[in-house]
C-alpha cells in the first residue's frame, strides 16, 4: 500500500519496512536532479526531521523522514544516476528503506486522493 | 505586482516554470529542463528573453549627430573607467559604473549607436542608474536619459548565426562586440554580436510588438529553442562571467570583484587618460597595492553542487572562513560543478590548490582552477 506525506514523499509499506521516495509532483517542481545525499544505513530518523538532500540544477531541497524508524537500506544507484529520480520517481528513483516502529503512524499518512488534492 | 515582458504569454504557453526576478515574472526553464537548455546552447543555439534588462538611451537632440555621441561618451568616462572615447559608431564595450567610493554600482554595455549612446544595464539597477546618470549629466551636458520600452532577445550558440541569417540578412558581417541596424518583418531592430554565455551569439533589441513573431520565427527554423534563467546562469558561470548582485555589488570595488580588466589601460596609472572617473583614487590605488578581496574560481570533485553563500575555509578543519562562494552551479559542459568565490586578498591561492566549502555542516573540497571554466567561442 502506498501513502503520501504532506512534504511530497511517497511511502510504501511491506511488513514493517517502508520504501520512501519523492513524488512525481515533487521531482517536477525541482527540475533536473543532479545530486542526492542519502543517510547512512543504520541512521535513526524521526518523522519530520531532515533525512536526505536533493540538489536540482537550480537549488538544494531537504527531504524529511515521513515516519520514525531506522534506515535499513539506501538506493546506491542514485549516486551515479541521480536523474532516476526524474525519470522514475516512484520506482527506480526510490531513496531509502526504513524499518518503522509503529504502523499506526503509517495509517495516518495521506491516501492517494488526499495527496492529489494537496497538489492541485 | 510582477512585471511581464512582451514574451510572457509565450513563456506560459511553453509551460515555463516562472519565478520573480528583479520585479519581473521570468522563466527559470521550460518543459525540457535547464540541463537540456544549457547543452542546446553549447551544441546548437538557445533563445533567451532578456527583456527585463534595462535599455537606456542617452541622447542630445540639439547637437550634430557626429559630435553628440562623442560628447556623451566623454561625460560617461567620468563614471565608467573604460576607454569609451575610442568607441566608434557600431561598436559596444563592457564597463563598470562606479560610485564615488570606487564600488560597483552596476555593470553594463555601452553601445555607440551613431547619433546617441545606448546602455544595457541590469534589471534591478535601472532606476538607480538613471538617477545617477541624470544627476551626473546635469550641468555638464544637456541630454535626455530614457528607458526604451523595447524587448531584448539573446540568441546564443554555435548555430546562432546560421539560424538568424534565415530571418535577417547581413548579420554575418558583424564581429564580436559590433552592432548594427537591421529589419525584421518591417520593424527596425538593433543587433549586436554579443551575449553572456561564452558562446558566439547575438542580442536583438526590437519593438515589444515584434518580439513574439520574432521568437516564433526562430523556433520555426527547428534549430533553436527557448532557454530560461537557470541555464543562462550556468552558462555564464562556466564562461567565468560575473553576475551583478552575486559576484559584485555596491559593497565591492572593481579589483575586489576581479574585474580589473574592465578598467581600460588608457584610464589606469600611466595611461593617456589616467583617472578622471568616480572612484579613481581607490581603483588606481588597488591596482598598485592590491584589494581586500579577490575573485577565485574552483571546481568540485564530486557531482555535489556548492552554492552561493557557502563559507570557504583554507583547511578542512579550519574554523575561520577566508571568504565565501558568490556563484555556484552544476556545469554540464565542464563535467563537474564549479564555483566563483570571493576570498580575502591576503590569502595566497594557486591553481591546483585546495580550499574547503561548508555545505550544510559538511566540508567539501574544491580545487582552484583558472577561469573561464569553459573556453569562450566568440567570433572576433
Query: How many domains is chain B built from?
Result: 2
Nearest CA to B81 among B278, B269, B285, B270? Answer: B278
Check pLDDT > 70 for residue B65: no
Output helix, strand, coil percentages for chain B, rounded to the nearest 5.
25, 30, 45
For residue B35, the chain A residues in CB contact (below 8 A) are 32, 34, 57
For residue B304, the chain A residues in CB contact (below 8 A) are 35, 37, 55
Domain, as residue range, for B306: 292-369
* Whether B325 and B283 share a structural domain: no
Residue of chain A whose Cα is closest to the Cα of B302: A35
HSE-up (13 A, CA, CB side) for residue B172: 9
* Whether B83 and B189 share a structural domain: yes
In a domain, residue A120? The reply is no
Q: What is the mean pLDDT of residues B188-196?
A: 98
For residue B301, the chain A residues in CB contact (below 8 A) are none
* Whether B363 and B263 share a structural domain: no
In a domain, residue B67? The reply is yes
* Whether B229 and B317 share a structural domain: no
Residue of chain B whose Cα is closest to the Cα of A31: B33
- Mean pLDDT of chain B, nearest integer: 97
Residue B61 confidence (pLDDT): 79
pLDDT digits (tens, 9 = 90+) for B6-33: 999 999 999 999 999 999 999 999 999 9
Check pLDDT > 90 for residue B298: yes
Q: What is the mean pLDDT of residues B94-100?
A: 98
In a domain, residue B279? The reply is yes
Give yes or no for a contact between A70 and A99, defined as CB atoms under 8 angstroms apart. yes
Collect the ranges in chain A with pLDDT lower than 70.
Answer: none
Residue A69 confidence (pLDDT): 97
In a domain, residue B12? The reply is yes
Structure letter (DSSP) for residue B175:
P
Interface residue of B28, B33, B39 to substitute, partner A, most A CBs within 10 Å: B33
pLDDT digits (tens, 9 = 90+) for B38-58: 999 999 999 999 999 999 999
**pLDDT tier, B62 (very low <50, low <70, confident <90, very high otherwise):** confident
B329/B262 Cα distance (integer angstroms): 24
What's B334's domain CATH number?
A: 2.40.30.110
* Whether B280 and B155 share a structural domain: yes
pLDDT digits (tens, 9 = 90+) for B306-334: 999 999 999 999 999 999 999 999 999 99
Task: Please give the share of chain B, as a percent, with pLDDT higher than 70.
Answer: 99
Residue B66 confidence (pLDDT): 64
Interface residue of A32, A40, A60 to substitute, partner B, most B CBs within 10 Å: A32
DSSP B27-82: EEE-TT-HHHHHHHHHHS-EEEE-TTSEEEEEE-TTS-HHHHHHHHHHHHTTT--S
In a domain, residue B329? The reply is yes
| The residue count for chain A | 120
What's B132's domain CATH number?
A: 3.30.1360.120
* Whether B284 and B315 share a structural domain: no
pLDDT digits (tens, 9 = 90+) for B335-365: 999 999 999 999 999 999 999 999 999 999 9
B297/B311 Cα distance (integer angstroms): 14
Nearest to B330 among A37, A53, A57 (CB): A57
What's A62's domain CATH number?
A: 2.40.50.100
Amino acid at each position: 500500500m502506498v501513502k503520501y506525506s504532506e512534504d511530497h514523499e511517497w511511502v510504501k509499506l511491506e511488513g514493517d519496512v517502508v520504501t520512501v521516495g519523492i513524488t512525481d509532483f515533487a521531482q517536477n517542481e525541482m527540475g533536473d536532479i543532479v545530486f542526492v545525499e542519502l543517510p547512512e544505513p543504520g541512521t535513526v530518523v524521526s518523522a519530520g526531521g531532515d533525512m536526505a538532500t536533493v540538489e536540482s540544477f537550480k537549488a538544494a531541497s531537504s527531504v524529511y523522514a515521513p515516519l520514525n524508524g531506522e534506515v535499513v537500506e539506501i538506493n546506491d544507484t542514485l549516486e551515479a544516476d541521480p536523474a532516476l529520480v526524474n525519470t522514475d520517481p516512484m520506482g527506480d528513483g526510490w531513496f531509502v528503506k526504513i524499518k518503522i516502529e509503529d504502523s499506526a503512524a503509517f495509517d495516518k499518512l495521506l491516501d492517494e486522493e488526499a495527496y492529489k488534492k494537496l497538489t492541485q | 505586482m510582477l512585471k511581464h515582458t512582451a514574451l510572457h504569454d509565450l513563456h506560459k504557453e511553453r509551460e515555463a516554470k516562472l519565478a520573480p526576478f528583479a520585479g519581473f515574472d521570468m522563466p527559470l526553464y521550460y518543459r525540457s529542463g535547464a540541463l537540456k537548455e544549457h547543452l542546446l546552447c553549447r551544441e546548437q543555439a538557445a533563445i533567451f528573453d532578456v527583456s527585463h534588462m534595462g535599455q537606456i538611451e542617452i541622447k542630445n537632440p540639439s547637437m550634430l549627430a557626429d559630435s553628440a555621441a562623442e560628447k556623451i561618451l566623454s561625460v560617461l568616462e567620468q563614471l565608467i573607467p573604460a576607454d569609451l572615447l575610442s568607441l566608434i559608431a557600431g561598436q559596444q564595450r563592457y564597463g563598470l559604473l562606479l560610485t564615488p567610493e570606487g564600488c560597483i554600482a552596476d555593470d553594463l554595455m555601452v553601445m555607440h549607436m551613431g547619433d546617441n549612446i545606448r546602455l544595457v544595464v541590469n534589471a534591478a539597477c535601472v532606476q538607480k542608474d538613471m538617477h545617477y546618470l541624470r544627476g551626473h549629466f546635469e550641468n555638464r551636458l544637456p541630454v535626455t536619459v530614457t528607458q526604451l520600452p523595447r524587448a531584448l532577445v539573446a540568441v546564443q550558440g554555435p548555430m546562432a548565426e546560421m539560424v538568424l541569417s534565415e530571418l535577417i540578412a547581413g548579420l554575418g558581417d558583424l564581429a564580436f562586440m559590433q552592432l548594427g541596424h537591421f529589419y525584421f518583418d518591417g520593424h527596425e531592430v538593433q543587433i549586436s554580436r554579443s551575449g553572456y554565455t561564452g558562446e558566439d551569439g547575438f542580442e536583438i533589441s526590437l519593438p515589444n510588438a515584434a518580439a513574439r513573431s520574432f521568437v516564433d520565427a526562430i523556433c520555426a527554423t527547428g534549430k533553436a529553442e527557448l532557454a530560461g534563467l537557470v541555464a543562462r546562469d550556468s552558462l555564464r558561470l562556466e564562461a567565468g562571467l560575473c553576475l551583478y548582485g552575486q559576484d559584485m555589488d555596491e559593497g565591492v570595488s572593481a579589483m575586489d570583484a576581479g574585474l580589473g580588466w574592465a578598467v581600460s589601460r588608457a584610464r589606469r596609472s600611466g595611461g593617456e587618460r589616467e583617472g578622471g572617473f568616480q572612484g579613481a583614487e581607490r581603483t588606481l590605488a588597488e591596482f598598485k597595492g592590491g584589494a581586500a578581496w579577490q575573485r577565485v574560481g574552483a571546481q568540485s570533485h564530486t557531482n555535489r553542487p556548492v552554492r552561493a553563500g557557502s563559507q570557504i575555509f583554507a583547511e578542512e578543519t579550519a574554523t575561520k572562513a577566508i571568504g565565501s562562494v558568490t556563484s555556484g552551479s552544476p556545469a554540464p559542459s565542464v563535467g563537474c560543478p564549479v564555483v566563483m568565490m570571493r576570498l580575502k586578498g591576503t590569502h595566497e591561492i594557486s591553481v591546483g590548490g585546495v580550499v574547503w566549502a561548508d555545505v550544510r555542516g559538511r566540508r567539501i573540497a574544491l580545487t582552484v582552477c583558472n577561469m573561464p571554466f569553459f573556453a569562450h567561442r566568440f567570433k572576433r
